[in-house]
Chain A
């Protein structure tokens, strides 16, 4: 298409050139037009991203004529004498053009246009200033916040208005020729307020009391009371969960559960109930582990980063070295970036994964710089102390341990220095010999006990030498296993003793030849432990009195045990017995303890003999040559160290939360822990393809603030946490116009059923425009500058006349504004899935109000070991364990709970800033027939029957409970005959299916 234009334009251009050769001004005008129409768009889309005033790579600024004429570090790009030899063409032409560095090369048509432009003198009108594509900040949401004047109202307006919010609303109504409704009746108002703030209905008695309350602040008092209710946090946390798409399974294939995700949900409930200032709330979720590590919220808050789905196979079964592994990790970071930017600044950055944002100032480079912020992280369980006191103790003990360890190292150094050259020499020879030992083992690892749940259990393993023999030496070698990254010394006991005896039961004439049961011993790894003795016995037993930790459990494992006589010959072992054992095929088994196969076993027998001799010599020199007082000091320090370690181990176990963290893994899923948390290198990926890496990017964000300095001006040795802190700090900057508009809009949407900007996750050019821009800004500034209290914001909205007005329809208003975007009435709202379920539980008398803790599961898990299937229809809906509020329901991704899903519950695979509200056949069927509904109807019937015996009173009670009002005479009559025929359970079921129950006026 460009080529056609060129052909159409060029002849005309040339013609005018020759025909009007003397009318230079006109000629110049033609050339200017050509530049504007044909060349400027090419420069803008292909060059300006890197060569503009904001960012002049190679000192080249192609945004103005001056910059063009100047050129970059390589000089001017234009050669007026020989336009065809201009450097610009060298850069952009050829099979593999140098420029553009990222993104598609110039098309052939575009190159022809550029050639033509150069050949005609490369005119660039002085008044044409180019801006980088998409970086255009001329958009409402990117304008700085400026406090608008609260509008002045006329008398009628002043009479209606209750808060400044109403001034803005009324003004807009008036502009449109609309008038607001008057206040809703008190029953309606209270029901609305209860559902809105707590997600539960008021009782009939509460409604009655409110209706009769003469206090002029009766309503305001209810608002405060409800915002103080713990149920408020339970309701509002669910809204946040929708937005950040938090769930408790990974999603994708093998949708495994996340049993430790719930602390993030509890964090949200606490945060909202305690009215945490918003900037703190933002910073905690992005970098609480860095900024507020010592608080109970710091780490659980980072559950935010891991809220979304995670591809288990793509991470745990495919390594990062494979393409599929890289694809999975790219998508994983994409999820973190997208959730962060959609949630906090209502910006759809995710387009940048494959191309520059077509409409908003988000380039691919900006997008990948956001990925770089999260590039060290993975999703995993992280331990933390929910109790700050325990956290402090743990910190103190850890500090003491590290001090003692340093002291011990210094003492050992002193000891060595005082011991003289002999010991030093032996140790050097030992070290030298050890470098020659193999760093491998056969598939027969050694002996491995059964797993114990605590460390302080005794476990033993013993050798039967067949007959009584003279024993000169016992050698014990630690095992080696990479399990849980343990490696050398795997399962080596912290405390143990070695005994010999003549009977297998160790009852008579038992002699202890080594006792290391008083203090914890350092793990010797696979260095042989040599015990010299002079005994005659048939049996040798090693008893561990404190076991080694494996992951969350404890074991005894050993690589090899050897007994020698005084000639150094190995005494054959006729049988190995033990308290217990894991006999697992090749690796572990009792017989592997004496098979001469172990990690580091030298190939030559002579090497082994001299190794043992050296070890013995070292031990005896250590004992004889180190001064007694130093040995005592060493022992005392070791004791102190062990005591601290014991105290540390006796602290209550840590809580876990599934969150974004620097993960240290083994096998396929490694994380960045082993790299010291160094972030992965992030490149711009051409069209999002992991195999097409373009330039490396540094951490950053979208360029929407006119910054004098880079918000990510991080030192070269910054940590990954610094990146997240920088992003969080940027988000909560007072001059970030998006952050404050975004959150107040969400609260408005929550109460009014539509946002001032009705695309809450997108304030860009593809989003909606604000219906009340001044109100939005006024709210944003109020919020930002007055403590960032979300509860105050609720109060501001809930006490407004706009909120308190009735939802009654007026045809003449509807003709002007049928969708009610100006709020001439309150929006009637359908109860969401949680409100339906929780109300039914409450009204039927079944609700268990217990807060916090692990989620209840209203499904049966099948096939948990491979890919769990969450079978809801196998769960007994009458099981009271599931009678808690819906916020405590275990949220599965692959198989959403069918009843809740049907009622438009948010899907944790998607970010849902605004719930869908549909009315479907399946909803009718669910409310009529679902086992939960039928059980609740039946139990409600029992409750009603207990509280009222006469049918008349029963009908009244049903109405009072479900609708918080008395039935009309007519309704009473209709219901009486229905009740008589079909009973209370059917009546309760019918009530729960009424439009009046499901809609809030």
Chain B
């Protein structure tokens, strides 16, 4: 039996130990009931959305997906080194690149045509060509729909990251996940609806603005989860102190509730007082649920292997390398699966910090091979594992996965081995949740410089409209009035891309 008078601090015993010991006492909530709630939520299936406090009730259109995973490559992942196969670049490699028009570059280095440093191979029944650094996704291409004619509005990282993450170029607008939370509400009682797994080496451009709730109610904002840290959610457990113990915690909850209830009893007619009492109960539940969801120790060997987490290494070389990148991205993907299983509706996973040095991001101005290689291998291992794992659990059918980045990279070289920004063309892909697999939509031109059909590019508005559509939402009807304007995720744009729908 734990000595209750012993002060408890984050470092004195592990969180997990503390939780399991004190769990039964917190707010009188037993773990058993907690878990059963989760499973009953899951069992509710399609009706859960309607019962969970979203504003879209009933759904505008029948939903194909209930959950979303957004994979965001920060720094601008090169489409022509990963998913958009361009034989012309191989043929014209090293020659002067002349698309027959002025090329506006971000950093002024118009080099020769540059082929990808990697080889390409067709995969799956669809025969989709993938570069060898994303070959792990070869097993999944028949479930994936690729969009190769995405266009951004500028080559500035911050604005373009915001555009893909919130639908607007300037800060102050809700993230896609916040809109989905607002529209559909929560599917669980113990975890946030919208969870963000940032690259642990740092946030992308704009930091937390990318998952802000902005003008939407605050509980729709993305909650940052940091698996493997002492406090995976801000303030989930008490900061350093010398006075809080397991027992004091239990008695504090009890007395707090008692006094708050007396206060409330004298002040009828104000639901906020009750809501605040409830929020303390929920806090206690989250203290149990979050670490449980993040605990990978029960995952079997073959699952760890699937996500590339069987490398057996505890430290990594100083240089960027594929094993380490797989460890980081794969672990986030596995955590994402566990969160989805527990009713989290929207998980956003970031690969890459902001665009600093040494590069741990996709902004390969200097050397595509050095950065894109390890990052893409790690990303594709994790993403492929997530797709296959969800599929084998029957969850891919109603989980939508969206892979995106802020813009693409140029067909010509910068220096001799890097590529400059290309806001005129890049790739997105979608998978699961009502997406037609094995599809390639909207080709780019022969170099991947601009969309082949320049009059009809695909924009983030179209992607977001499609995403909402699959979730049962008409993107023109999910609105929130802010400062006199009925705001939408898709602003005044966006068309559902029918070709992508199963």
A interface residues, Cβ below 8 angstroms from B:
251-255, 309, 311, 313-314, 318, 322-324, 327-328, 331, 334-335, 342, 348, 350-351, 354-355, 759, 761-762, 764, 766-767, 807-811, 814, 828, 830, 863, 866-867, 869, 877, 893-896, 898-899, 902, 904, 907, 909-911, 913, 916-926, 928-931, 934, 937-938, 941, 971, 974-975, 978, 981-983, 985-986, 989-990, 993-996, 998-999, 1001
Chain A CB within 8 A of B31 CB: no
Give bound CA distance, A814 to B267, whole Å. Answer: 14
Q: What are the residues of chain B within 8 A of A926 when measuring CB–CB?
A: 234-235
Chain A CB within 8 A of B300 CB: no
Distance between B17 CB and nearest chain A CB, rounded to angstroms: 18
Q: In the complex, which residues 313-360 of chain B have their Cβ closer than 8 Å to any Cβ of chain A?
A: 354-357
Q: What are the residues of chain B within 8 A of A983 when measuring CB–CB?
A: 243
Residue in chain A with minimal CB distance to B278: A919
Judge whether B234 and A925 touch: CB under 8 Å: yes
Residue in contact with A994 in the complex, picked from B153, B207, B260, B486, CB distance below 8 Å:
B260
B242-273 CB contact bits vs A (8 Å, 1 = yes)? 11110110011001101110111001111011
Q: What are the residues of chain A within 8 A of B209 when measuring CB–CB?
A: 251, 893-894, 909
Q: A766-B484, A909-B209, A910-B171 are in contact. List 12 more A-B contacts (CB 8 A).
A: A252-B205, A252-B206, A253-B156, A314-B158, A334-B170, A350-B485, A762-B484, A766-B481, A909-B214, A937-B243, A978-B255, A982-B248
Chain A CB within 8 A of B159 CB: yes
Residue in contact with A318 in the complex, picked from B156, B235, B237, B275, CB distance below 8 Å:
B156
Q: What are the residues of chain B within 8 A of A929 when measuring CB–CB?
A: 235-239
Distance between A993 CB and nearest chain B CB, rounded to angstroms: 6
Q: Which 4 A-B pairs have the closest CB atoms?
A: A762-B484, A809-B269, A253-B158, A931-B239
Judge whether A894 and B206 touch: CB under 8 Å: yes
Judge whether A894 and B207 touch: CB under 8 Å: yes
Judge whether B172 and A910 touch: CB under 8 Å: yes
Chain A CB within 8 A of B480 CB: no
Give bound CA distance, A313 to B269, whole Å. Answer: 51
The number of chain B residues touching the other chain, given as a range, is 35 or more
Distance between B242 CB and nearest chain A CB, rounded to angstroms: 8
Distance between B217 CB and nearest chain A CB, rounded to angstroms: 6
Chain A CB within 8 A of B118 CB: no
Q: What are the residues of chain B within 8 A of A327 when measuring CB–CB?
A: 153-154, 156, 159, 169
Distance between B466 CB and nearest chain A CB, rounded to angstroms: 22
Q: What are the residues of chain B within 8 A of A986 when measuring CB–CB?
A: 243-244, 248, 252
Distance between B291 CB and nearest chain A CB, rounded to angstroms: 13
Distance between B320 CB and nearest chain A CB, rounded to angstroms: 17
Q: In the complex, which residues 135-162 of chain B have their Cβ closer than 8 Å to any Cβ of chain A?
A: 153-159, 161
Judge whether B484 and A318 touch: CB under 8 Å: no
Judge whether B279 and A921 touch: CB under 8 Å: yes
Judge whether A348 and B484 touch: CB under 8 Å: yes
Give bound CA distance, A830 to B492, whole Å. Answer: 36
Judge whether B279 and A923 touch: CB under 8 Å: yes
Distance between B272 CB and nearest chain A CB, rounded to angstroms: 6
Judge whether B155 and A324 touch: CB under 8 Å: yes
Judge whether B235 and A866 touch: CB under 8 Å: no
Distance between B400 CB and nearest chain A CB, rounded to angstroms: 26
Judge whether B239 and A934 touch: CB under 8 Å: yes
Give bound CA distance, A917 to B239, whole Å. Answer: 25
Residue in contact with A896 in the complex, picked from B208, B235, B247, B256, CB distance below 8 Å:
B208
Distance between A182 CB and nearest chain B CB, rounded to angstroms: 16
Give bound CA distance, A373 to B233, whole Å. Answer: 46
Judge whether B256 and A974 touch: CB under 8 Å: no
- CB-defined A-B contacts under 8 Å, sample of 9: A323-B154, A828-B272, A898-B235, A909-B171, A917-B272, A920-B218, A978-B251, A993-B256, A999-B273
Task: Name which of B169, B223, B269 has the most chain A CB atoms within 10 A of its CB.
Answer: B269
Give bound CA distance, A911 to B483, whole Å. Answer: 9
Judge whether A309 and B171 touch: CB under 8 Å: yes
Judge whether A828 and B170 touch: CB under 8 Å: no
Judge whether B235 and A930 touch: CB under 8 Å: yes
Chain A CB within 8 A of B286 CB: yes
Q: What are the residues of chain B within 8 A of A762 when measuring CB–CB?
A: 483-485
Residue in contact with B104 in the complex, picked from A322, A766, A863, CB distance below 8 Å:
A322
B276-309 CB contact bits vs A (8 Å, 1 = yes)? 1101101100100000000000000000000000
Give bound CA distance, A220 to B272, whole Å. Answer: 31
Give bound CA distance, A994 to B273, whole Å. Answer: 10
Give bound CA distance, A144 to B256, whole Å. Answer: 54
Chain A CB within 8 A of B97 CB: no
Give bound CA distance, A971 to B239, whole Å. Answer: 28
- The answer to whether A902 and B234 touch (CB under 8 A), given A253-B354, A313-B156, is yes
Chain A CB within 8 A of B106 CB: yes
Give bound CA distance, A41 to B242, whole Å. Answer: 74
- The answer to whether A981 and B248 touch (CB under 8 A), given A313-B158, A767-B484, A928-B235, is yes
Give bound CA distance, A811 to B483, whole Å. Answer: 32
Chain A CB within 8 A of B54 CB: no
Judge whether B276 and A253 touch: CB under 8 Å: no
Q: What are the residues of chain A within 8 A of B354 when measuring CB–CB?
A: 253-254, 866-867
Chain A CB within 8 A of B109 CB: no
Give bound CA distance, A875 to B37, whole Å. Answer: 38
Give bound CA distance, A254 to B354, whole Å. Answer: 8
Task: Name which of B234, B272, B273 has the most chain A CB atoms within 10 A of its CB.
Answer: B234
- The answer to whether A318 and B267 touch (CB under 8 A), given A311-B158, A925-B234, is no
Judge whether B214 and A869 touch: CB under 8 Å: no
Q: What are the residues of chain B within 8 A of A830 when measuring CB–CB?
A: 272
Judge whether A995 and B252 touch: CB under 8 Å: no
Q: What are the residues of chain B within 8 A of A978 when measuring CB–CB?
A: 251-252, 255
Residue in chain B with minimal CB distance to A981: B251
Task: Name which of B153, B236, B241, B258 has the most chain A CB atoms within 10 A of its CB.
Answer: B241
Residue in contact with A925 in the complex, picked from B236, B252, B273, B355, CB distance below 8 Å:
B236
B204-231 CB contact bits vs A (8 Å, 1 = yes)? 0111110010110111000100000000
Judge whether A921 and B286 touch: CB under 8 Å: yes
Give bound CA distance, A989 to B245, whole Å. Answer: 13
Q: What are the residues of chain A within 8 A of B239 when measuring CB–CB?
A: 877, 929-931, 934
Residue in contact with B234 in the complex, picked from A869, A919, A922, CB distance below 8 Å:
A922
Give bound CA distance, A828 to B268, whole Å. Answer: 12
Judge whether B104 and A323 touch: CB under 8 Å: yes
Residue in contact with A811 in the complex, picked from B171, B236, B269, B286, CB distance below 8 Å:
B269
Chain A CB within 8 A of B240 CB: yes
Judge whether B267 and A921 touch: CB under 8 Å: no
Chain A CB within 8 A of B494 CB: no
Residue in contact with A828 in the complex, picked from B156, B157, B267, CB distance below 8 Å:
B267
Chain A CB within 8 A of B202 CB: yes
Residue in chain A with minimal CB distance to B212: A907
- The answer to whether A766 and B206 touch (CB under 8 A), given A324-B154, A982-B251, is no
Q: What are the residues of chain A within 8 A of B247 when measuring CB–CB?
A: 981-982
- The answer to whether A909 and B172 touch (CB under 8 A), given A828-B270, A830-B272, A982-B248, is yes
Judge whether B218 and A924 touch: CB under 8 Å: no
Distance between A937 CB and nearest chain B CB, rounded to angstroms: 8
Give bound CA distance, A194 to B202, whole Å. Answer: 42
Q: What are the residues of chain B within 8 A of A928 when measuring CB–CB?
A: 235, 238, 252, 280, 283
Give bound CA distance, A983 to B218, whole Å. Answer: 34
Q: In the complex, which residues 151-187 of chain B have their Cβ closer than 8 Å to any Cβ of chain A?
A: 153-159, 161, 169-172
Judge whether A809 and B156 touch: CB under 8 Å: no
Residue in chain B with minimal CB distance to A328: B156
Chain A CB within 8 A of B203 CB: yes
Give bound CA distance, A764 to B486, whole Å. Answer: 13
Residue in chain B with minimal CB distance to A878: B240
- The answer to whether A922 and B223 touch (CB under 8 A), given A309-B170, A318-B156, A896-B208, is yes
Give bound CA distance, A314 to B217, whole Å. Answer: 31
Q: What are the residues of chain B within 8 A of A348 when measuring CB–CB?
A: 483-485
Give bound CA distance, A351 to B256, whole Å. Answer: 48
Give bound CA distance, A768 to B47, whole Å. Answer: 35
Give bound CA distance, A911 to B482, whole Å. Answer: 10
Residue in contact with A920 in the complex, picked from B207, B219, B357, B492, CB distance below 8 Å:
B219
Q: In the complex, which residues 70-127 of chain B have their Cβ closer than 8 Å to any Cβ of chain A?
A: 104, 106
